[in-house]
Amino acid sequence: MARNDGWRGVIKYGFMIVLLAVAGCANGQREGMPDSMDNAKSHGEWPQISKSELGLDYLLYLPRGYTLQPKKSFPLLLYLHGFEQRGELLSKVREVGVPKQLEDGRDFGMIVVAPQVKARKAWNKRELGSLLDEIEATYRVDIGRIYVTGEGIGGYGTYVLAGDRPERYAAIAPISSAAYVEQSVKLRTVPVWVFHGKLDGIVPVESAVDMVYALDALGGLSRLTIYEQGDHNIAEKVYAKDELYAWLLKHKRILETGKIVVSGE
């Protein structure tokens, strides 16, 4: 009988060791993980992947400190990708433009939304406008500081979206793209920074120059940067520099008056 009690003690002791080992492994795994998915996203580590009510798949990046500052509203940057990222693989969008910068560990202090347009489709202002409505309703967005940027067909989408509701946006930055000069009439109240490569063989640089001239003639708030040795693929150079993001954040639209205020001026 005493022998059986002894074996029971050994079994019990061994079982406790196993439990402690399992618990230790679990704790070790937790130490290497963020406290929560929200905390991870708030530090720019993982994007949230979602689908809008009108069917746009998109990536959403929350800035550092988003969950730690529950009363603060943040600027919103909408990024529109180019021709080659169309389709149904959001991984393509993560590898370029603003998402790539965030994936590499940068943080711009803004909520970043990066939708994906389907193959053989173009950016649709109704779908994009609806997506922004959803983001504004769900997250703490500073609605006086909404910005749009895009490259190639995304740059064209930037022009069209901002021209549809210019009072909604504080600034835009189209890259390697073109739009009908008639769009300048609608965009004259929106600060625009246009980027283009002088050697662009897909969208001639004259398209960018004509748009900026038209905006200037209307008293618009435009700026033009031409990369003398750049071709159509200058976007990664543009998005890698802090200057663009600093310029965007300087602009705020006063909703009561519709006027743009530029900080530092």
Query: pTM score, two decimals?
Result: 0.83
Closest CA to 127 of 191, 63, 78, 84: 78
Q: What digits encode the pLDDT tens for the residues 232-251?
A: 999 999 999 999 999 999 99
Do 153 and 120 form a contact (C-beta atoms < 8 A)? no
Rounded Cα–Cα distance for residues 237 and 153 (Å): 18
- Selection from 179, 175, 183, 181 nearest residue 234 by Cα: 175
Nearest to 132 by CA among 58, 48, 37: 58
Q: Angle at Cα 111 formed by Cα 140 and Cα 63, nearest 5°? A: 100
Beta-ladder partners of 251:
262
Check pLDDT > 60 for residue 150.
Answer: yes
Interval 64-93: pLDDT, tens: 999 999 999 999 999 999 999 999 999 999
For the chain, the distance separating the N- and C-terminal CA atoms, rounded to the nearest angstrom, is 91
Q: What is the mean pLDDT of the chain?
A: 86
